A = this chain, B = another copy of it.
Amino acid sequence: MLTKQRHQLILQRLSEKKVVKLKELVDLTRSSESTIRRDLTDLETEGYLARVHGGATLISTPDEEPTFEEKLDRFVDEKVAIAQKAATFIEDGMSIYLDAGTTTQAMVPFLKGKKIVVVTNSLPIANELFDLDIKTFVIGGELKRSTQALVGYNARESMMNYRVDLAFLGMNGIDLDAGYTTPDPEEALVKKTAIELAQTSFVLADASKIGKRTFSRVATLDAAQLITSSDESMSSIQTITKVVNAK
């Protein structure tokens, strides 16, 4: 593989994911660690990226260190764009399911004023919806520590009482072969159930999730439309399910 091509690949991957691991690039380009290291050093001296231990990240703004708020914003930008796009599918009178997760949570502000009913398994989302005065149903279940989501068998049981028009799900892995995947089996069960009870399902995922596969299988790609802002592998996924570009 030509040096130019590798550099191109690296920068592309970086612009999508904000940070890349060295090992990741080794796999991606099928070249040695040494080579990737050299590439990263070169690209750094050319000002395209910043090396960090374990890989590289996008360069910070040229003039000044971004403030705390700005950094957060940049991190959230992609999620918000996806969330906003997702919210456009919601019409007055609909009932929707909002899965736990930062991307789906980003949808909440865009629901303001809509005459809808929301079902969710996320405590933070329920709290936000409460503030927005939106009719909200919370499913039962065990409160999971890391994500403040309600999961497990009881959650599934409780969900079966609802039917929604649209379901919006976060996802950790989207892969052509593996389909939609997430690390925790109990969360996977909840997501799976959500897809079952919704008329139409959407998966919200930023570019970093595309091509990834994690432990628990949720569904095949055709079970839900994908809303993302990644161009990468869009074309191949599009042969299986509908893909919405949030840009």
Residues in A lying within 8 Å of B, measured CB to CB: 2-5, 8, 11-12, 15-16, 19, 21, 24, 27-28, 47-48, 52-55, 57, 59, 68, 71-72, 75-76, 102, 123-124, 126-127, 129-130, 133, 135-143, 145-146, 148, 150, 154, 157-159, 161-162
What residues of B have a CB within 8 angstroms of the CB of A136 in the complex? Answer: 142-143
29 A-B pairs in the complex with CB atoms less than 8 angstroms apart: A2-B19, A2-B55, A3-B52, A3-B53, A3-B54, A4-B19, A8-B71, A11-B75, A12-B72, A12-B102, A15-B72, A24-B145, A24-B146, A27-B145, A28-B146, A47-B68, A123-B127, A123-B138, A127-B127, A136-B143, A137-B154, A139-B158, A140-B140, A140-B141, A154-B158, A154-B161, A154-B162, A157-B161, A158-B161
Identical copies of this chain, number = 2
Contact B2 A75 (CB under 8 A): no
What residues of B have a CB within 8 angstroms of the CB of A47 in the complex? Answer: 68
| CB-nearest residue of chain B to A74 | B8
Contact A133 B157 (CB under 8 A): no
What residues of B have a CB within 8 angstroms of the CB of A16 in the complex? Answer: 124
Contact B140 A130 (CB under 8 A): no
What residues of B have a CB within 8 angstroms of the CB of A3 in the complex? Answer: 52-54
| CB-nearest residue of chain B to A15 | B72
Give A146 to B28 CA distance when docked, in angstroms: 5
Give A118 to B52 CA distance when docked, in angstroms: 37
Task: State the Cβ distance, A23 to closest chain B Cβ, in Å.
Answer: 9
